[in-house]
Amino acid sequence: MTTVKAAQAGPQMRVAGGKKRTGVLLTGATWIISVLFVFPVVWMIWTSFHSETDAAANPPKVLSAFSVQGYRSFFGSNPWPPILNSLTASVISTILVLCLALPAAYALSIRPVKKWSDVLFFFLSTKFMPVVAALLPVYLFAEKVHFLDNIWLLIILYTSMNLPIAVWMLRSFLAEIPAEMLEAAQVDGAGLIRTLREIIAPVVMPGIASAALICFIFSWNELLFARVLTGTRAETAPVFLTGFVTSQGLFLAQVCAASFVVSLPVLAAGFAAQDKLVQGLSMGAVR
């Protein structure tokens, strides 16, 4: 009897030991990947607190004296109008995307239209074309209607660019809602707007937060359209950052300082919505 138990315990111990080693390897790999992702950001922040000479030194002078000259140069160049333009375009376009994507996702998941898969593929196909291919037609149209250097042009473009992604994300989230909940709402006499506002929206709020954060990040970081279609009035923060890169002189510390300050709104939004973001992305992963 003892021999049988010992024979059974051997494979179990080997399996447990193998799982433990796998867990350690996965944990180590996770830490390595995390460090690789975080290190460039930490290095950028560290470089922003050095003088231009020390920042451009090769090899880098890691322990050189700290300096805030890069931040003085950034704030001295009046960055607030471009930051306000980016904030306006990102927030308004994200709100418009959610207002349009939620009913569309509802129609494609809970109340599916005919050939709904073709509709989803059409939404996805709009992302196949390179952005630069649409740049010239958009520029010519904006010039024709006297819409260049206008923040509302960027709002319309960002809304149309992010809408397909939001529809795809929200559809996967709405597909998780039990049909019984919607049937109970119908029995109570709730209309479409009330159902979306009081029943569906609270349930899929993590998904809405995830889609909103992703759309906000894409809008905030967009450079190509903002660079070509704006001038002085509607200049955004990414376009403003490119002005620190010159062909003469040193600019590394200024660029790092400006990049860190411009990244703060996105970092703050991600930190504030991190719980809902993780919950939302995992909720829509598997149906």
What pLDDT score does 80 carry?
A: 93
3-class DSSP assignment, residue 284: coil
Residue 143: pLDDT band by 50, 70, 90 thresholds? very high
Per-residue buried b or exposed e for 5-25, using 16+ beta carbons within 10 Å of the residue's own CB? eeeeeeeeeeeeeeeeeeeee
Q: pTM of this prediction?
A: 0.82
Pick 79-285's CATH classification: 3.30.70.100, 1.10.3710.10, 3.20.20.140, 1.10.3720.10. Answer: 1.10.3720.10
Q: Is the pLDDT of residue 178 over 90?
A: no
**Which residues touch 272 (CB under 8 Å, ≥6 apart)?**
none
pLDDT digits (tens, 9 = 90+) for 52-94: 888 888 777 777 788 888 899 889 888 999 999 999 999 999 9
Residues 208 and 102 sit within 8 Å (Cβ to Cβ)? yes
Work out the number of other CB atoms within 10 angstroms of the CB of residue 158: 25
Write down the domain spans for the chain: 21-68, 79-285
139: tokens are 């520029």
What pLDDT score does 150 carry?
A: 94
pLDDT digits (tens, 9 = 90+) for 183-204: 777 777 777 777 777 778 788 8
- Among residues 273, 260, 152, the alpha carbon closest in space to that of 214 is found at 273
> Which helix (H) or strand (E) is 119 found in, with range?
helix 116-125
Q: Is cis: bond before 59, omega within 30 of 0?
A: yes
